Amino acid sequence: MTLNKTLDVLVIGAGQSALATAYFLRRAQLDYVVLDEQPQPGGAWLHAWDSLRLFSPTTWSSIAGWQMPTAADDYPHRDAVIDYLRRYEQRYQFPILRPVHVDSVIREGDCLRVRAGTDSWLTRAVVSATGTWSRPYIPQYPGAEDFTGQQLHSSRYRSPKPFAGKKVMIVGGGNSAAQILAEVSQYSDTLWITPQPPSFLPDHFDGRVLFHRATAAWKAEQAGRKREASAGGLGDIVMVEPVVEARERGVLAAQRPFQRFNRYGIAWADGRQASVEAVIWCTGFRPALDHLAELDIIEADGKVQVEGNRSVKQPNLWLVGYGNWTGTASATLIGVTRSARAAVSEIQTLLSQTTDCQ
């Protein structure tokens, strides 16, 4: 399906970042299309573990235009977020095509051509909002190829029951690691490995404080000054109920990184060893940007050089929702609104200054 007309904007992805962008594109009355690789609404939330809950209330977990319906306990589960995104799509009737896997984006005159199999679209601007979930990161350790136990990334983790009775190592110091550790430790003997001692927020704090910190960082950046360090950081662990319960059971004691794997477990530099039957890597993700490879703009660190969230080397390309490098807190439901609004405002300016794909 090759479009005969030139679109104003094409959005790649249909998770929370893409939907927030589509909301502002709709308000701007631009001609746009959204391409989604997933067969149904929900974005990366479709791949989260079964018991995942947000650590901010619904009023702090919504994207632009429509607040997430309040949950019974006001801290929504994963399925509630998926349902919210589905209903959000329906509410605004975005022009979403799915499932469509984008193979590449190439230059064509002053425009960009987006190719997906035998289909292609010519557009004056592209917003890439493919996120990171499809690029899980697992660090390399000596001896990993000799380890006989099970290994999986948190992106493939669903529930603790398959690990019942096993010695399970959780690697990572963020909120995902703490939440997964909390429930796996109810069924298994667990070992928690973190790069540095984990930092826990006070029990009465929730995710709102992280967004306040992110907002302070954004305001400081806009003012051209360095933000003063506050107690804790944006990656502090929120003490949701399961994590508090895990603390009461004494399972939140983390150990520093090991040196290598062996056949049946791990070893530290000081000679200590531990037997391990399974490893759950909560070690983050990398940007999913393979579709931009032919533009030759991906740097050695796997990212694209941006000003705000606009590509420096390809100025009719915007990247929304990949993390702080594309906008402070842009990978969160509430935080992405700021980045999406800014992107669409810049796109409007670009389109007002150009009329064709010469």
> Looking at residues 168-195, what average pLDDT do you find?
96
Fold adopted by 144-200+237-281: FAD/NAD(P)-binding domain (3.50.50)
Residues of the chain with CATH 3.50.50.60: 7-134+285-353, 144-200+237-281
> Looking at residues 314-342, what average pLDDT do you find?
93
pLDDT at 222 over 60: no
Burial grade of 85 (CB within 10 A; 0-12, 13-18, 19 or more): buried
In the sheet with 260-262, reading across from the earlier edge strand, the strands are 260-262, 265-267, 273-275
> How far is the CA of 272 from the CAs of 204, 255, 309, in angstroms?
37, 12, 46
In the sheet with 278-281, reading across from the earlier edge strand, the strands are 150-153, 278-281, 167-171, 189-193, 254-255
When pLDDT is cut at 50, 70 and 90, the band that residue 233 belongs to is: very low
- Angstrom distance (rounded) from CA 330 to CA 58: 17
Question: Tokens 């420096």 — which residue?
Answer: 312
Lowest mean pLDDT among 126-140, 200-214, 237-251: 200-214
pLDDT digits (tens, 9 = 90+) for 88-103: 999 999 999 999 999 9
- Top-level CATH class of 7-134+285-353? alpha beta
Lowest mean pLDDT among 6-10, 89-93, 220-224, 348-352: 220-224
> Looking at residues 130-151, what average pLDDT do you find?
96
- Torsions phi, psi of 158, nearest 5? -120, -45
> What tokens does 293 get?
């490879």
When pLDDT is cut at 50, 70 and 90, the band that residue 209 belongs to is: low
pLDDT recorded at residue 230: 42
> What tokens does 178 get?
């703490």
